[in-house]
Amino acid sequence: MGALKKMVAVLWRLWRLIGTAISFGVFGLGGLFVGLVVGPALYLIPASKRRAAIARRVIGALFSTFVEVMRFLGVLRYRIRMEAPLPSPPFVVVANHPSLIDVIFLIKLFPTADCVVKQAHWSNPFMMSAVRAANYVPNSNTADILAECAERLRKGTIMTIFPEGTRTVPGQQPRYHRGPALLALETGASLLPVKIRVNPTTLTKAEPWYHIPQRQVCVELTVLPAIEPKRSGSIRADSIELNQQLKALLTE
């Protein structure tokens, strides 16, 4: 009986390895499809709000499909919990960043949002047409990102930002960048913290993709109550405090 149980566990893990490989294949083909067909097609539409909206809808639909493919294959299961109703825009979605799949879930959750995205994607052949068509914000340099995000928030958008800037390195204390807190205080936008738990860990900075955990991966997104920015002292001091509050909410 014990041997049988063990064999089932090994087969289940083997299947998830295959499922993960298939998922990567699907993602790669999807990227190719977007890079070669969808992106250029979007470029036929003149650059406009409408093009960005369509591009984001397409990306959101593809990511949602991809999540369901992974679920269907048994690679992962997920749970999305809302602890409070969403605030009205403008607001900044801020999330911790334990794994590569966080991005996919956040875009699935807020497909219309303006996202701050790794600048390298602007010159990556698979990504460039999508990030450009969607008119996302490249994480170029501090001054430019802040100015661009503030301008967009003042127009009433939703922004998605990882304050950690990059994936958390397991075992290291993440550094939370103060930008989202400062933006909220400067523009009056609320902060919407989304806490992401990936358990057991997978696709972290310290693991190769084929490192398949013993148990099935569970992705849990908790949308926490929005925080309204309040000024009390200097904007610097206020943003430092607000950032610390965010960090406390988002880290274990």
**In the window 201-220, what residues touch other proteins (CB under 8 A)?**
none
CB 193 within 8 A of CB 160: no
If binding is defined by CB under 8 A, does position 120 make contact with other proteins? no
If binding is defined by CB under 8 A, does position 247 make contact with other proteins? no
Strand partners, 191: 92, 227
If binding is defined by CB under 8 A, does position 236 make contact with other proteins? yes
> Given candidates 182, 196, 219, 221, which one binds other proteins under the rule CB under 8 A?
182
CB-nearer residue toward other proteins: 102 or 238: 238
Nearest 5°: the CA angle 81, 82, 86 is 150
CB-nearer residue toward other proteins: 23 or 243: 243
If binding is defined by CB under 8 A, does position 100 make contact with other proteins? no
If binding is defined by CB under 8 A, does position 143 make contact with other proteins? yes
Give me the least distance between CB of 235 and other proteins, in Å please.
10
Q: Which residues bind other proteins (CB under 8 A)?
A: 141-143, 146, 177-179, 182, 234, 236-237, 239-240
